[in-house]
């Protein structure tokens, strides 16, 4: 028996903040005191709050330590483990709490959370099947084994589960189609090719709770009559792949994968395929092509994968989060429990990856229908450095941006569609006044342009033409007709592209034109980028009233363009300035202004 | 896409290649995993190795290159000991990843996709590492480095020699 369990977040977020070094220091301290064997250390799944990583949670005391450094471990061991006293210094502190918060329930970031999919992530050891089973794991699968396959589809349909990866199609219906497709051989495929830049929830589920995905896929296999599954995971997620491999091996040892599972007439074999770096492989037919060892190019639908999928056999494809929801529904009484959360058309919870210029970045799982305001201000703690909230980009390169005026929009499939965005996989990138919307549209389009597989002309050529126009606008060579041309190109690409990538890639451009038209016009007619991003369209000027002559900007300037005496206002030599923005980041008085070129007027902020 | 023959021609030792291909013989759908293993072994996909894979797996060389050049992961030229992957995800972009890659290009004197002459670093871009909360992020081999600013880059690079 261990005295305490210490869960160290071992997900990619905390690893980048140095959680492996913290773990080494902890082990060293424990060994120094000769108490290593009294404590169980688990490099576990993600508690979601990446902003304050590295994180250690001590159980059963339920104490949440954050922003840890290796040198903090001596105090943690001596005070907490040996003397039983909480180390207050290492608890969560922030502008949003009065006293340091001890556990999830008192940290504002978690206040709106509803842990469903992330129910065990960060609580159990992701490399232990026993811990998963002890928390009710594989019980839903056992129940599914005793059910009629179509009854399972019916339950998933009734619960109202919709695909968490993009279009939001009814999962139960998808399963039913595959179930009814003729043929003895069928496949279950898990799309773990999370490619949307700005989304990392699938990675956290894979790393934190791999068995939940296996269980979801097994239940699907039973429901559609498949005996083989593939997990297609990005090669950029090495930790996720290694944990999946461990989980599969354990499930095989326990007889949960293999032949005649638990004595039933049900066989299942699980395979992992590593992606090789192609965004379009997140599209289901392209993904299937890639598993078959071909170039990952989409093919026309119909036939849908439910009729003719992997190796030409009926196939169900769902994404990671969708599968992770399945055991919650198929367990005893799960349908009602699941359907009680969310809105009329969007049931359950959704995991969002909150990133960008928000104070608390990380993963949050909240009920469908929560508003953007609640996510940004309650969960996210507001905008960094007290700046103005400008817009949020939902759904990655296929989605759109939602402006500050619509901050009370509920986040569910239908509301987001109406606003010109999509749920997508659930990435939410928050932007402030320092983000240029033309640049943002250009960024997304250059991404999809690069990732376009080239098979169909509207996507291959159309995105290229749109990108040329956006490049021109951001370089100051835009003409007023450009906006109409963009609109009409976007409409043709949406209508005539072969797959989801092409059909949705104009969305970021359309939604930024829709909500921030004046910013485009400013770029085109005034040749001015007010956010100070498009380098040809602004200059920096130092506010002579505010500058204290601290020399911070002059020291950081890589081209020595800033001149001035100590304690005297500085000035920028415009011929030298490359507008790299280093000085803006360093200036503590906010006195470096963004002004139009050739004009000395103060129009910034 | 044209396939360039590598300019520096290091001796390529193909002796272990058959052992890599062996388990996949007759399974043409496994061509991507085979190429991944070959690249793990050589660091890239040398032409002689590709020819051998083609012969042993009975896949035309043209098709093999068709697959290899489709995926960003596969490299046709030798790469550095350290692979720097600059995350170009949305969160990183709006938190300033263009400045980070600009600074790295300046220090190393290579552009994205290129390798330094001493084969120390290769600079690449990647769509998203999935550590958006710590943007901007780069990975050097398997080590992630987060919350970067342009002036901190040099110090990080010094650690990799």
Number of domains in chain A: 5
- Which pLDDT score, from 0 to 100, does residue A488 have? 96
Q: By CA distance, what is B128's nearest residue in A?
A: A197
Name the band, by pLDDT with cuts 50, 70 and 90, for residue A599.
Answer: low
Name the minimum distance, in Å, from the CA of B59 to any CA of chain A. Answer: 11
- Percentage of chain B lying above the pLDDT 90 cut: 62
Assigned token pair, A10:
């071992």
Give the mean model confidence (pLDDT) for residues A273-288: 92
Task: For domain B82-158, give the CATH number.
Answer: 3.40.30.10
Q: Is residue A269 scored above 50 in pLDDT?
A: yes
Q: Which domain holds residue A509?
A: 437-526
Neighbouring C-beta atoms of residue B116, cutoff 10 Å? 15
Query: Which of A356, A396, A395 is CA-nearest to residue A376?
Result: A356
Query: Contact, A233 vs A244, CB < 8 A?
Result: yes
Q: How many CA atoms lie within 13 A of B133 on its CB side?
A: 29
Give the mean model confidence (pLDDT) for residues A567-582: 89
Q: For residue range A404-451, what is the model confidence (pLDDT) as tens digits?
A: 999 999 999 999 999 988 888 788 989 999 899 999 999 999 999 999
**Which chain A residues touch B102 with a CB distance below 8 Å?**
580
- Percentage of chain A lying above the pLDDT 90 cut: 76
d(CA A285, CA A32): 56
Determine the residue among B112, B132, B138, B139 to mutate to test chain A binding: the one whose Cβ has the most chain A Cβ atoms within 10 Å: B132
Q: Do A429 and B90 touch (CB under 8 A)?
A: yes
Query: Contact, A159 vs A335, CB < 8 A?
Result: yes
Q: Do B128 and A447 touch (CB under 8 A)?
A: no
**Which chain A residues touch B36 with a CB distance below 8 Å?**
235, 274, 276
Query: Contact, A571 vs A562, CB < 8 A?
Result: yes
- The residues near B9 (Cβ < 8 Å, ≥ 6 apart) are none
Where among A496, A526, A556 does a domain terminate? Answer: A526
- Which pLDDT score, from 0 to 100, does residue B1 have? 46
> Are A186 and A263 in a shared domain?
yes
* Residue A123, domain member (yes or no): no
Query: Contact, A237 vs B130, CB < 8 A?
Result: yes
d(CA B148, CA B138): 8
Indicate the length of chain B as a whole number: 161
> Are A334 and A264 in a shared domain?
yes
Assigned token pair, A518:
């004046």
Query: Contact, A269 vs A228, CB < 8 A?
Result: yes
Query: Which of A90, A87, A69, A70 is CA-nearest to residue A78?
Result: A87
Instruction: Give chain A's end-to-end CA distance (angstroms, integer).
Output: 60
Q: For residue range B89-133, what is the model confidence (pLDDT) as tens digits?
A: 888 888 889 889 999 999 999 999 899 999 999 999 887 777 777
CATH number at residue A478: 1.20.1440.230
> Are A462 and A585 in a shared domain?
no
Look at phi and psi of residue B117 and say left if phi exceeds 0, alpha if psi is from -120 to 50, else beta: alpha
Query: Which of A105, A322, A283, A317 is CA-nearest to residue A205?
Result: A322
Query: Contact, B94 vs A431, CB < 8 A?
Result: yes
Name the band, by pLDDT with cuts 50, 70 and 90, for residue A605.
Answer: very low
- Which pLDDT score, from 0 to 100, does residue B4 have? 54
Determine the residue among B66, B67, B94 to mutate to test chain A binding: the one whose Cβ has the most chain A Cβ atoms within 10 Å: B94
**Which chain B residues touch A453 with a CB distance below 8 Å?**
70
- Which pLDDT score, from 0 to 100, does residue B8 have? 54
* Residue A589, domain member (yes or no): yes
CATH number at residue A412: 3.10.20.600
Name the minimum distance, in Å, from the CA of B114 to any CA of chain A. Answer: 18
* Residue A68, domain member (yes or no): yes
CATH number at residue A543: 3.30.70.20
- Which pLDDT score, from 0 to 100, does residue B3 have? 54
Q: Do B133 and A199 touch (CB under 8 A)?
A: no
DSSP percent split of chain B into helix, strand, coil, nearest 5? 45, 10, 45
| Residue-range domain boundaries for chain B | 17-70, 82-158
- Percentage of chain A lying above the pLDDT 70 cut: 99
In chain A, positions 520-559, which contact chain B (CB-CB < 8 Å)? 556
* Residue A601, domain member (yes or no): no
d(CA B156, CA A75): 29
Q: By CA distance, what is A234's nearest residue in B?
A: B129
Name the band, by pLDDT with cuts 50, 70 and 90, for residue A602.
Answer: very low
Name the band, by pLDDT with cuts 50, 70 and 90, for residue B9.
Answer: low
B interface with A, Cβ–Cβ < 8 A, is 28-33, 35-36, 66-67, 70-74, 88-96, 99, 102, 126-135, 137, 142, 144-146, 149-151
Q: By CA distance, what is B89's nearest residue in A?
A: A197
Name the band, by pLDDT with cuts 50, 70 and 90, for residue A473.
Answer: very high
> Are A372 and A226 in a shared domain?
no
Alpha carbon of A284 to those of A89, A304, A498: distances in Å? 49, 10, 12
* Residue A121, domain member (yes or no): no
Nearest to A277 among B71, B99, B132 (CB): B71
- Which pLDDT score, from 0 to 100, does residue A251 have? 98
> Are A148 and A293 in a shared domain?
yes
Residue with the larger pLDDT of the pair B149 and A178: A178
- Which pLDDT score, from 0 to 100, does residue A604 have? 43
**Which chain A residues touch B29 with a CB distance below 8 Å?**
291-293, 311
Residue with the larger pLDDT of the pair B108 and A15: B108
Where among A432, A448, A483 does a domain terminate? Answer: A432
- Which pLDDT score, from 0 to 100, does residue A6 have? 94
**Pairing state between β A362-367 and A349-356:** antiparallel
d(CA A65, CA A53): 9
- Which pLDDT score, from 0 to 100, does residue A580 have? 80
Q: By CA distance, what is A355's nearest residue in B?
A: B133
Name the minimum distance, in Å, from the CA of A99 to any CA of chain B. Answer: 25
Determine the residue among A276, A385, A448 to mutate to test chain B binding: the one whose Cβ has the most chain B Cβ atoms within 10 Å: A276
Q: Do B33 and A274 touch (CB under 8 A)?
A: yes
Residue with the larger pLDDT of the pair A344 and A14: A344
The predicted complex's ipTM stands at: 0.83
Residue with the larger pLDDT of the pair A598 and A538: A538
Nearest to A198 among B67, B89, B145 (CB): B89
Across chain A, mean pLDDT equals: 92
Give the mean model confidence (pLDDT) for residues A90-104: 88
Q: What is the DSSP letter of A24?
A: H
Q: Is residue A81 scored above 70 in pLDDT?
A: yes
Assigned token pair, A355:
């990133």
Strands of the sheet with A389-394, listed across from one edge: A362-367, A349-356, A427-432, A389-394, A400-403
Token pair 């992957």: residue: B85
Name the band, by pLDDT with cuts 50, 70 and 90, for residue B144.
Answer: confident
- Which pLDDT score, from 0 to 100, does residue A598 have? 64
- Which pLDDT score, from 0 to 100, does residue A58 have? 94
d(CA A50, CA B134): 7
Q: By CA distance, what is A555's nearest residue in B?
A: B151
E strands within A530-588?
A: 539-542, 562-563, 571-572
Alpha carbon of A262 to those of A269, A411, A460, B110: distances in Å? 14, 41, 50, 58
Q: By CA distance, what is A579's nearest residue in B?
A: B99
Q: For residue range A386-410, what is the model confidence (pLDDT) as tens digits?
A: 889 999 999 888 899 999 999 999 9
Q: For residue range A197-230, what is the model confidence (pLDDT) as tens digits?
A: 778 889 889 999 999 999 999 999 999 999 999 9
Token pair 């007023």: residue: A480
Query: Which of B94, B96, B50 is CA-nearest to residue A508?
Result: B94
Assigned token pair, A127:
């490399």
* Residue A512, domain member (yes or no): yes
Residue with the larger pLDDT of the pair A256 and A99: A256
Q: For residue range A331-354, what is the model confidence (pLDDT) as tens digits?
A: 999 999 999 999 999 999 999 999
**Which chain B residues touch A501 with a CB distance below 8 Å?**
none
Question: Pseudo-torsion of CA B152, B155, B157, B160, nearest 10°?
Answer: -150
**Which chain B residues touch A200 with a CB distance below 8 Å?**
128, 130-133
E strands within A294-418?
A: 315-319, 349-356, 362-367, 389-394, 400-403
**Which chain B residues touch A585 with a CB distance below 8 Å?**
149
* Residue A508, domain member (yes or no): yes
CATH number at residue A65: 3.40.30.10
Nearest to B91 among A294, A356, A447 (CB): A356
């Amino acid at each position: 028996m261990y005295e305490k369990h210490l869960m160290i977040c071992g997900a990619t977020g905390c690893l980048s903040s140095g959680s492996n070094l913290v773990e080494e220091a902890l082990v060293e301290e424990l060994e120094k005191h000769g108490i290593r064997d009294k404590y169980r250390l688990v490099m576990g799944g993600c508690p979601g709050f990446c902003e304050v990583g590295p994180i250690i949670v001590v159980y059963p005391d339920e104490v949440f330590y954050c922003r840890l450094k290796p040198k903090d471990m001596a105090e943690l061991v001596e005070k907490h483990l040996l003397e039983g006293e909480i180390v207050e210094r290492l608890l969560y502190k922030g502008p949003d709490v009065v006293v340091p918060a001890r556990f999830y329930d008192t940290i504002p970031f978690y206040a709106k959370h509803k842990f469903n999919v992330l129910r065990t992530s960060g609580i159990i050891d992701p490399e232990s099947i026993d811990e998963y089973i002890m928390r009710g794991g594989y019980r839903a699968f056992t129940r599914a084994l005793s059910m009629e396959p179509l009854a399972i589809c019916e339950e998933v349909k009734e619960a109202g589960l919709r695909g968490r990866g993009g279009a939001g199609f009814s999962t139960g219906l998808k399963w039913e189609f595959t179930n009814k497709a003729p043929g003895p051989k069928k496949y279950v495929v898990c799309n773990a090719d999370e490619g949307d830049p700005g989304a990392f929830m699938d990675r956290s589920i894979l790393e934190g709770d791999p068995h939940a995905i296996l269980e979801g896929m097994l239940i699907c296999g039973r429901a559609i009559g498949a005996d083989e599954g593939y997990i297609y995971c990005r090669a950029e997620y090495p930790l996720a792949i290694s944990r999946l491999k461990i989980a599969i091996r354990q499930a095989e040892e326990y007889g949960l994968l293999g032949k005649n599972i638990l004595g039933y007439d049900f066989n299942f074999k699980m395979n992992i395929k590593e992606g090789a770096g192609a965004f379009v492989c997140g599209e289901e037919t392209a993904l299937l092509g890639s598993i078959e060892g071909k170039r990952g190019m989409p093919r026309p639908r119909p036939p849908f994968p439910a009729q003719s999928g992997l190796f030409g056999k009926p196939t169900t494809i769902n994404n990671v989060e969708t599968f992770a929801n399945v055991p919650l529904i198929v367990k005893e009484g799960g349908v009602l429990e699941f359907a009680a959360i969310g809105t009329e058309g969007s049931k359950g919870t959704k995991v969002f990856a909150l990133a960008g210029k928000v104070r608390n970045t990380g993963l949050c799982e909240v009920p469908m229908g929560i508003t953007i305001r609640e996510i940004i201000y309650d969960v996210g703690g507001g905008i960094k450095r007290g700046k103005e909230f400008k817009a949020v980009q939902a759904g990655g390169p296929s989605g759109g941006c939602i402006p500050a005026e619509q901050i009370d929009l509920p986040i569910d499939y239908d509301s987001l569609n109406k606003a010109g965005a999509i749920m997508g996989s659930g990435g939410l990138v928050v932007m402030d006044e320092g983000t240029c919307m033309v640049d943002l549209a250009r960024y997304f389009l250059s991404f999809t342009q690069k990732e376009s597989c080239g098979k169909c002309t509207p996507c291959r050529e159309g995105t290229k033409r749109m990108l040329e126009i956006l490049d021109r606008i951001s370089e100051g060579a835009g003409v007023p007709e450009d906006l109409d041309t963009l609109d009409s190109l976007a409409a043709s690409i949406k209508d005539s592209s072969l797959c989801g990538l092409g059909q949705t890639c104009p969305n970021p451009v359309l939604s930024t034109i829709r909500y921030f038209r004046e910013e485009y016009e400013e770029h085109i007619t005034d040749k001015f980028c007010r956010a100070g991003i498009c380098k040809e369209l602004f200059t920096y000027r130092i506010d002579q009233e505010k500058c204290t002559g601290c020399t911070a900007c002059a020291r950081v300037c890589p081209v020595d363009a800033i001149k001035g005496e100590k304690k005297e206002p500085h000035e920028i030599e415009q011929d030298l300035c490359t507008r790299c923005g280093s000085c803006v980041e360093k200036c503590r008085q906010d006195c470096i202004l963004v002004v139009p070129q050739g004009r000395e007027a103060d129009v910034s902020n | 896409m044209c396939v360039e023959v590598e300019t520096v021609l290091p001796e390529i030792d193909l002796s272990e290649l058959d052992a890599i291909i062996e388990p996949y013989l007759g399974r043409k759908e496994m061509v991507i995993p085979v190429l991944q293993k070959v690249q793990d072994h050589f660091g890239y996909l040398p032409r002689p190795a590709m020819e051998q894979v083609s012969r042993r797996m009975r896949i035309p060389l043209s098709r093999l290159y068709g697959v290899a050049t489709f995926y960003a992961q596969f490299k046709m030229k030798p790469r550095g000991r350290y692979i720097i992957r600059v995350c170009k995800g949305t969160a990183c972009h709006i938190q300033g990843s263009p400045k980070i890659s600009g600074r790295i290009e300046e220090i190393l004197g290579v552009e994205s996709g290129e390798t330094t002459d001493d084969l120390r670093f290769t600079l690449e871009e990647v769509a998203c590492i999935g550590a958006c909360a710590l943007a901007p992020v780069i990975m050097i081999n398997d080590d992630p480095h987060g919350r970067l600013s342009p002036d901190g880059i040099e110090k990080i690079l010094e650690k990799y020699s």
